Each structure stands twice: as C-alpha cells, then as structure tokens.
Amino acid sequence: MELEALRLSLYVALRSVLLGLPLAIVVAYPLSRSRFLGRTVLDAIVHLPLVLPPVAVGYVLLLVFGTRGTVGAWLESAFGIRLAFTSAGAALATAVMTFPLMVRAIRLSLEAIDPRLEDAARTLGAGPIDRFWTITLPLMAPGIVAGAIIAFAAGLGEFGAVITFASNIPGETRTLPLALYTALQSPGGDALAARLAGLSFLLGLSGLVLAEWVSRVLRRRIGR
C-alpha cells in the first residue's frame, strides 16, 4: 500500500516536472528580461495556482481536459489520449500546481545573471539562439535544477487538484497524500496514515535539502 502510493507519487511528480520545466524556462525568460505589454498579466496567471484553491484548479482542468471538455474530447478522439481519471492527468494537475515554484526559482537565477554578459557574447559574434544555449542557459542551470527539485518535492504531495481532476483510483492516481487521506477515512487506518505522513515529511525535507545543495554546487562550478 505505502510502496504503491510512493511509487505512484514519484512517477506522477517526475512526469509533472518533465512536462512543466521547458515551459517554465520559456516563461521565466521574458518575465525577467523583457518589458512588454501584458507582462504583469502573464506574471499573475503564472502565480495563480499559488493562491487559488487547488480544487478550483482541478475543476478548471476538468472543464478543459475532461472527457467532455473541448481539449479533452479532441485529445481522446484524435490521439486516444485520456487525461481525466488517469495518472497522466494527475501529472498534468501536479504540473499546473507546481509551475509557479519552478518559474520563481528560474527567474531568480536569471535575475542574478548580468545581462551585459549577453551583450559581450553578441559583440563576439553570437546570435540570439547561440547566446541562449552557450551563456544564458548554463548560467541559469542552478535555478533550473533547484526549481525542478522543489517542484518535484512539492509535486509528491499535491492533493486537491489531483483528486478533483484525476480522482482517487488505487494504482492509478492514489498518490501519497491521497492514500493518506483514504487511510484517515477508513476505520483502523491510523497506523498506515502515520507511516504515510512520516514518509511525506521525509521526502519533502530531502527535496528541500537536495535542492539547496545542488544549486550551491552548481553555482560554485560556474564561479558565482
């Protein structure tokens, strides 16, 4: 029971990070580097999952990606992909919830990079894509890695959005927090609930410590 929930949690959190990370990099860059119309709006949208009730996020996902939602129906008829009530859907819900955490960490590391370094690369003959791959991305690496680890650790425990959008299906979407909730609801589940809670504590703490350590090592490697 615990092992299955743990395995599922790890799997869902990992997929959510893989899903959200590229987009988080793409969004963090203009948020910290450019001044454009609608920047504040984009910033607010990115941060919305932090302030909304997770259940509301799950509900919106159901409306859009559910079997009768516009995108959900299309995905199912065109590709046979079903998100609602599947572990893929749990990963999507988790990705949306942890997205702001990733964007924030990446943005912080971007803001610590002197933009004149990119100017220096320009005068040395590097075009925009070249500059991004050789200068900006490597210097952002500590933030990207830290953001990914924090999002992963937070994703292990995502509850509201997952249960709303992907439901509580054993072996499919019953991750650690859902298993913990189920255990508390069932008579005689106290011991199981305590074990699951302990496991969650342990994972969360290791995630935070690991994120801090990795980003420190990386910062040292790039000499900052």
Partner 1 sequence: MLEIDVSLSRGDFDLEVTFAAPTPGVTALFGRSGSGKTTVIDLIAGLLRPDRGRIALDDAVLHDTSRSYSLPPQRRAIGYVFQDPLLFPHFDVAGNLRYGQRRAQPRGTEAEFADAVELLGLGALLRRRPHELSGGERQRVALGRALLSRPRLLLLDEPLASLDAARRGELLPWFEALRDRHAIPIVYVSHEFEEVVRLASHVVLLEQGRVAAEGDVGRIAMVPELRAVIGPELAGSVVDGQVESTDPVTGLAQIRVGHSAITASGAGLRAGQAVRLQVLARDLVLATHKPMGLSVRNEIDGTIRAIVDDGPDAVLVEIDVGGPVLLARVTRPAASDLALAPGRRLWVLVKATSLRGHVHPRR
Which residues sit at the interface with partner 1, rule CB under 8 A? 114, 116-117, 119-127, 130, 134-135, 138-139, 221-224
Minimal distance in Å, beta carbon 23 to partner 1? Answer: 24
Q: Which is nearer to partner 1, 35 or 116 (CB)?
A: 116
Instruction: CB nearer to partner 1: give 77 or 123.
Output: 123
The amino acid sitting at 26 is V
Which pair of structure tokens corresponds to residue 24? 């988080």
**Cα 64 from Cα 60, distance rounded (Å):** 6
Q: Is the CB of 103 or the CB of 139 nearer to partner 1?
A: 139
Please say which residue, 117 or 205, places its beta carbon nearer to partner 1. 117
Closest distance of CB 125 from partner 1, Å: 3
Minimum Å gap between C-beta 112 and partner 1 is: 11
DSSP for residue 219? H
State the CB neighbour count (10 A cutoff) for residue 27: 21
- Least separation in angstroms between residue 110's CB and partner 1 is 14
Nearest distance in Å: CB 133, partner 1: 12
User: Of 117 and 209, which has the nearer Cβ to partner 1?
Assistant: 117
- Torsion sign (Cα): 28, 30, 33, 35: negative
Decide if 77 contacts 69 (C-beta within 8 A). no
For residue 159, give every residue at least 6 positions away whose Cβ sits within 8 Å of its Cβ, in sequence order, or none: 54, 177, 178, 181
The two tokens of residue 129 are 């894509």
Within its chain, how far is the Cα of 15 from the centroid?
9
